[in-house]
Structure 1
Amino acid sequence: MIVPYTLFLLYLMFLGMGRTQYDDNLIRVEPILATLNFIENTIRWSDIIKIVLGNVVMFIPFGFLGWVFPRFTDLKNNLFVFISAITIVEALQYFTRLGIFEVDDIILNTFGVFLGWQLRKMLEISFSQYISE
């Protein structure tokens, strides 16, 4: 399931939601400011929720990679590999002009992975109580 889900996310990041190629290569490197400006200048709350919350929620499943790949059981390893991969994806968006390289996306996506990892740990603790009984 990881591979199809990852391909789906890549589709969304490069081609989905009506994306077209920009005329220029765009980059936003001010952490948090780009997201705050987006929220401030967006009229519809549905757009804010879809973009900002989507950047977190859509990456929660990557926090569960430890169930599939033991290497990703450790939070530090999981985040290191994820941040490296998402930075490459953001760079590809920049170079192909099929998106914007945004530091905020890296931060929000990584927060989603962190939430997923925390959820996974909570589930493991909860279910380990039932298994040991």
Structure 2
Amino acid sequence: MLKKFYKIIIVPYMLFLLYLMFLGMGRFQYDDNLITVEPVFSTIEFIHNTISWKDIVIIVLGNIVMFIPFGFLGWIFPRLRDLKILMYTFMASIVIVEALQYFTRMGIFEVDDILLNTFGVFLGWLFCGFIEKKFSRLVL
């Protein structure tokens, strides 16, 4: 039952995320192409320079939590049950999305986003395994 629901909801969810990444949350086109390649330091700097905890939670935790559903892609594509294949596939995909943000100037190519998003997928993969073990009759 959960797998059927997931198969129905994942494509609209992915389109919603793409909307957020390119047009949502007050996005605008930058004058220049921007890139942040210092892993972790840019996120620490963002947290240090941000007054609002709400903004920190939305940006930092959002970059993790919003990508958890992609850890369940093995329910649709059996090859993606393998963590290594899932991680390579996702990282290639998110690098393309970040590059599109860079080239369209509708965002910043940020290595931290790639790391946080990928961590979210990993958590989703772990959670998927947990659900399959504990609630196997609900998953089918």
Shorter-chain TM-score tier: over 0.9
Q: Which residue of 1 aligns with 2:5?
A: none
Q: Which residue of 2 aligns with 1:70?
A: 78
TM-score for both structures, normalised by structure 1: 0.95
What are the residue-to-residue correspondences of 1:1-133 with 2, within 5 Å? 1-128=9-136
Per-residue CA distance 1:70-109 (angstroms, 9 max, x = gap): 1111111111100000000000000000000000000000
* 3-state SS of paired residue (2:109): strand
Question: 1:68, CA displacement in angstroms?
Answer: 1.5
| Structure 1 unaligned regions, length at least 5 | none
Per-residue CA distance 1:39-77 (angstroms, 9 max, x = gap): 000000000000000000000000011112111111111
Q: 1:71 and 1:4 mapped to 2: Cα distance?
A: 22
* 3-state SS of paired residue (1:27): strand
* 3-state SS of paired residue (1:18): coil
Q: 1:10 and 1:54 mapped to 2: Cα distance?
A: 14
TM-score for both structures, normalised by structure 2: 0.90
* 3-state SS of paired residue (2:99): helix
Question: 1:123, CA displacement in angstroms?
Answer: 1.1
Per-residue CA distance 1:20-40 (angstroms, 9 max, x = gap): 000010000000000000000
Amino acid at match of 1:68: I
Q: Which residue of 1 aligns with 2:4?
A: none
Q: 2:130 and 2:11 mapped to 1: Cα distance?
A: 24
| Structure 2 unaligned regions, length at least 5 | 1-8
How many aligned positions are there? 130
How well do the aligned residues superpose, as a CA RMSD in angstroms?
1.2
- The percentage of counterpart residues that share the same residue type is 70
Question: 1:127, CA displacement in angstroms?
Answer: 2.6
Per-residue CA distance 1:102-126 (angstroms, 9 max, x = gap): 0000000000000000000111121
